[in-house]
Amino acid sequence: MHYTLEKLNLYHNPRCRKSREALAYLEAHKIPFTIRHYLVDPLTVEELQKVLQLIGKTPAAIVRKNEALWKSDFSQQKWSDPALLEILTQHPKLIERPIVVSDQSGVLARPLENLQEFLKNF
């Protein structure tokens, strides 16, 4: 399988099995990409807004609601999108992963089949 596409960006957490699967898939298929370790290099609100636009998701759709931090500190309230953006940029471990984006579109690559389907568009 060979893809001709612009370079992809993988928002990656190396401790996450699903994120490692996406990384391995991109490498195995020799698809050009860059990695952003978003826990070490957190996204700004503007960057996260752009990513959400590319993947067609709302902030609430990418919150890891089973994380202990979410359950203990945030789950008791209903949050607006701007407030959720702030929470997610201040606590990036609450962001669902992996996310893969190009300049034009993107995908929440969980499960891996989402990434495979996304790559068919190139």
> Is 105 a member of any domain?
yes
Give me the pLDDT at residue 5, please.
Answer: 55
> Which letter does DSSP use for residue 5 in this model?
-
Structural domains of the chain, count: 1
- Give this prediction's pTM: 0.91
> Is 1 a member of any domain?
no
Give me the pLDDT at residue 6, please.
Answer: 65
Coil/strand/helix, residue 107: strand
> Is 97 a member of any domain?
yes
81-90 and 45-55 helices, crossing angle to 10°: 110
> Is 2 a member of any domain?
no
Give me the pLDDT at residue 121, please.
Answer: 79
Catalytic residue list: 16
Coil/strand/helix, residue 91: coil
Residues spanned by the domain of 113: 8-119
User: Cα 120–41–5 angle (5° rounding)?
Assistant: 20
Main-chain dihedrals φ then ψ at residue 55, nearest 5 degrees: -95, -5
> Over the chain (122 residues), what is each successive 10-residue block's mean pLDDT?
66 96 96 95 97 97 97 96 98 97 94 95 76
Which long-range contacts link 103-110 to residues 24+ away (Cβ below 8 Å)? 103/6, 104/6, 104/54, 105/54, 105/55, 106/51, 106/54, 106/55, 107/55, 108/55, 108/57, 108/61, 108/62, 109/18, 109/22, 110/18
Coil/strand/helix, residue 9: strand
> Is 14 a member of any domain?
yes
Give me the pLDDT at residue 31, please.
Answer: 92
C-beta of residue 11 within 8 angstroms of C-beta of residue 41: no
> Is 3 a member of any domain?
no
> Is 34 a member of any domain?
yes
> Is 74 a member of any domain?
yes
Q: Output the domain CATH number for residue 78.
A: 3.40.30.10
